[in-house]
Amino acid sequence: MSWLQQKQARKCMFAGGDAHLKCRFVAISTDQVFDGVPPHAPYLTKDPRRPLNPYGRYKVEMENELCSLVHPDLVIARTSLILTLGRTPSQDGKAIAFLRNALSSDRDSPVVLFVDEIRNMSWSEDLAQALLEIATCIQCDSDDERGCAPTIIHLACSETTNRFELVQCLLAKQWVEYHPFATARIVAGLSAESGLHRPLDLTMNVESMVETGLVTRTHLRSIHEYLSS
């Protein structure tokens, strides 16, 4: 079901005696609703949105449409770069697969990874657990309609890093087999000098997870925590 169809189906109810468990609808947005122009304090949920690319503009449109519903059990969760490290290469997520392919490629020219594109990277397992917590941590009467606006949170790890640092962590903790090729195939670069006009520092303030009471049991691990576990 698309997010637009949620206008007609905004509640997910499960019978339970005289009460009902009401499941929130959680929409996934992105840090790319912001422009990432440094310097700036970590973005708050209420900060102005100025997307630089079509993906960010689409997410702003989605957020606006959902906010117009004025429904209390609707949550907009802005994520950042999502990481999935598979047990085998075929199970890797897109971001990890790109790095592994860059290290294993026999191409002549190295892959440039930007050190000035800062992100609150998070692991997909942790995000899945947090989303489940958000969706199910509510119990109220089925007729409860308070008429308040949807809640927006920044759902991401508090630690920030960049793709070059990420691959260095993976090489140190996981990918020993790629050490002989790493220096020749991965180099650090600056997005600001690339001419690509991409968001740079998208650091988000993630205190909204706890402040709203939506994510209190799930810990979103840093890259170092995850790779050391």
Q: Kindly state the tokens that stand for 104.
A: 């294993």
Residue whose structure tokens are 């503009």? 57
Strand-strand pairing, 186-189 and 111-114: parallel
pLDDT digits (tens, 9 = 90+) for 124-147: 999 999 999 999 876 444 444 455
Share of the chain above pLDDT 70, in %: 86
More confident residue, 43 or 20: 43
What is the per-residue pLDDT for 14?
Answer: 33
Number of other residues whose CB lies within 10 A of the CB of residue 128: 12
For the chain, the domains span: 7-228
Across the chain, mean pLDDT equals 87
Q: Which CATH architecture has domain 7-228?
A: 3-Layer(aba) Sandwich (3.40)
Residue 61 has pLDDT above 60, yes or no: yes
Window from 108-117, 145-154, 209-218 with minimum mean pLDDT: 145-154
The reply to whether omega before 39 is within 30° of 0 (cis) is yes
Share of the chain above pLDDT 90, in %: 74
pTM: predicted TM-score of the whole model, two decimal places: 0.85
Window from 100-114, 117-131, 161-175, 188-202 with minimum mean pLDDT: 100-114
Counted residue by residue, the chain has a size of 229
Q: In the predicted model, what is the mean pLDDT of residues 84-106?
A: 93
Q: Please state, in angstroms and rounded to a whole number, the distance separating the CA atoms of residues 219 and 129.
A: 9
Q: Please state, in angstroms and rounded to a whole number, the distance separating the CA atoms of residues 141 and 145.
A: 9
β-partners of residue 118 are: 201
Residue 148 has pLDDT above 90, yes or no: no
Residue 33 has pLDDT above 90, yes or no: yes
What is the per-residue pLDDT for 21?
Answer: 53
What is the per-residue pLDDT for 138?
Answer: 61
What is the per-residue pLDDT for 123?
Answer: 97
Helices within the chain (DSSP H only): 54-67, 94-104, 124-136, 163-173, 179-185, 208-211, 223-228
What is the per-residue pLDDT for 227?
Answer: 94
What is the per-residue pLDDT for 43?
Answer: 98
Residue 15 has pLDDT above 90, yes or no: no
What is the per-residue pLDDT for 19?
Answer: 46
Q: Please state, in angstroms and rounded to a whole number, the distance separating the CA atoms of residues 113 and 206.
A: 25
Element (H, E) at 74: strand 74-79
Query: Is the Cβ–Cβ distance between 30 and 80 less than 8 Å?
Result: yes
AA identity, residue 106: D
Confidence of residue 150 (pLDDT cuts 50, 70, 90): confident
